[in-house]
Amino acid sequence: GENVEQHPSTLSVQEGDSAVIKCTYSDSASNYFPWYKQELGKRPQLIIDIRSNVGEKKDQRIAVTLNKTAKHFSLHITETQPEDSAVYFCAARFSGGYNKLIFGAGTRLAVHP
């Protein structure tokens, strides 16, 4: 079935450290993997995405890597700052479902000053 697993569920780091969140997906035909950041009580906002034809994408302190063979992708945040504290969701676009996204359960990231 359609499933995205996300780990860890909570992550606590010191300011300046790196944070890594990992996701695995079930549909080998999935071809689009966005990451959303959701602050408390706010809307999910896209922070980075990756298409299946590339293995890595970077945007300043944020990077995403994709391993299609293993069906997993990861979010890397370097030099974390307190404002990075939020819930992060990975998602995968499943084949045959138009633009239907299945989301992971989320990772609550806390960055301590």
Partner 1 sequence: DSGVTQTPKHLITATGQRVTLRCSPRSGDLSVYWYQQSLDQGLQFLIQYYNGEERAKGNILERFSAQQFPDLHSELNLSSLELGDSALYFCASSVSSGRSRETQYFGPGTRLLVL
Binding stretches for partner 1 (CB under 8 A): 31-32, 34, 36, 42-46, 49, 51, 89, 91, 93, 97-106
> Within 13 Å of residue 76, how many CA atoms lie on the same side as its CB?
12
Give me 105's structure tokens: 């359960």
Q: Which is nearer to partner 1, 43 or 83 (CB)?
A: 43
Based on C-alpha coordinates, what's the Rg of the chain?
14
Cα–Cα distance, 35 to 50 (Å, whole number): 9
Cβ proximity to partner 1: between 64 and 102 the closer is 102
Cα–Cα distance measured from residue 92 to residue 42, given in angstroms and rounded to the nearest whole number:
21
Cβ distance to partner 1 smaller for residue 13 or 103: 103
Tokens 């970077």, residue? 58
CB of 78 to partner 1, least distance (A): 24
Cβ-based nearer residue to partner 1, 43 or 69: 43
Q: How far is the CB of 32 from partner 1 (least distance, A)?
A: 4
Alpha-carbon distance 38 to 6, whole Å?
Answer: 15
Least distance in angstroms from the C-beta of 43 to partner 1: 4
Q: How far is the CB of 1 from partner 1 (least distance, A)?
A: 12
